[in-house]
Amino acid sequence: MGSAPAQIPTSFGHELRACLRCRLVKTYDQFRDAGCENCPFFKMEEDHERIVEVTTPNFNGIISVMDPSRSWAARWLRIGKFAPGCYTLAVSEPLPEEMQHLCQEERVQYVLPKRM
């Protein structure tokens, strides 16, 4: 286990939201309190309105990645470099453009979700 794990969701229902960039799944409250471990530049813990912008309640499937670097599934989903934690397999919405620009400024990659 490389780095410290991200927060583990405290519930399994509708409160769950997924980060639109790294697909980390946590509850709204967790995002509000601690932000996203992989995307600290979103500063969700500081700007709560951003949580709505950069996370979504619409996601599909959950994958708990215990050992990202050695997990094939994590690599396949391209979350192998992120902190261990619960992720979602796919989000359907793109990050708002403004936030995409932020990613660019921060020089982090953002991949648009594939349209099915």
Partner 1 sequence: MSQYSDDDYSHEDDSEMEDEDEEDEYEPRSSRKGRSGKKRGRSNSDSDGRRGSKKKSSGSAFIDWEVEVDDDVEDDDDDVDVEDGKQQLKFGDFSLCFIVSGEADLPNEDSDHRRQYYQRGFHPHEEDVDELEKRTLERLSTKYAKDDYELDDVNDVDQQALLPSVRDPKLWLVKCAIGREREVAVCLMQKIVDRGSEFKIRSAIALDHLQNYVYIEADMEAHVKEAIKGMRNIYANQKILLVPIKEMTAVLSVESKAIDLSRDSWVRMKLGIYKGDLAQVVDVDNVRKRVTVKLIPRIDLQALANKLEGTENVKKKAFAPPPRFMNIDEARELHIRVEHRRDPMTGDYFENIGGMLFKDGFLYKKVSTKSIAAQNVTPTFDELERFKRPNENGEIDFVDESTLFANRKKGHFMKGDAVIVIKGDLKNLKGWIEKVDEENVLIRSEMKDLPNPIAVNGRELCKYFEPGNFVKVVSGIHEGGTGMIVKVDQHMLIILSDTTKEHICVFADHVAKSAEVTKGVTKIGDYELHDLVILSDFSFGVILKLDSEAIQILKGVPDSSEVSIVKASEIKYKIWKKINVQDRYKNVVAVKDVVRVIEGPSKGKQGPVVQIYKGVLFIHDRHNLEHTGFICTRCSSCVLAGGNFKTPALVPPSPRRFQRADMGYNPGAGGRHQGGRGRRGDDHLVGTYVKIRLGPFKGYSGRLVEVKDKLVRVELEAKIVTVERKAISDMTDNVVATPQYNMGSQTPMHPSRTPLHPCMTPMRHSGATPIHDGMRTPMRGRAWNPYMPMSPPRDNWEDGNPGSWGTSPYEAATPGSDWGSSTPGRSSYRDAGTPINNANAPSPMTPSSTSYLPTTPGGQAMTPGTDLDVMSLDIGGDAETRFIPGILVNVHKAGEDRNPGVIRDVLPDGSCVVALGHRGEGETIRATQNKVSLVCPKKNERVKILGGKYCGSTAKVIGEDGQDGIVKLDESLDIKILKLTILAKLVHE
- Residues in contact with partner 1 by CB under 8 A are 1-3, 5, 8-9, 12, 14, 38, 52, 56-67, 69-78, 81-86, 89-93, 106-109, 111, 113-116
Shorter beta-carbon distance to partner 1: residue 65 or 99:
65
Enumerate residues 6+ apart whose C-beta is below 8 A from 82: 6, 22, 24, 37, 38, 65, 68, 74
Positive or negative, the CA dihedral 105, 106, 107, 111 is negative
Q: What's the min distance (Å) between Cβ of 101 and partner 1? A: 15
Distance between CA 86 and CA 90 in Å, rounded?
A: 12
Q: What's the min distance (Å) between Cβ of 40 and partner 1? A: 9
Q: What's the min distance (Å) between Cβ of 100 and partner 1? A: 14
Shorter beta-carbon distance to partner 1: residue 33 or 106:
106
Shorter beta-carbon distance to partner 1: residue 45 or 52:
52
Q: What angle do CA 51, 55, 56 make, to 5 degrees?
A: 130
Distance between CA 13 and CA 81 in Å, rounded?
A: 27
Looking at residue 7, what DSSP letter applies?
Answer: P
Q: What's the min distance (Å) between Cβ of 112 and partner 1? A: 9
Shorter beta-carbon distance to partner 1: residue 47 or 106:
106
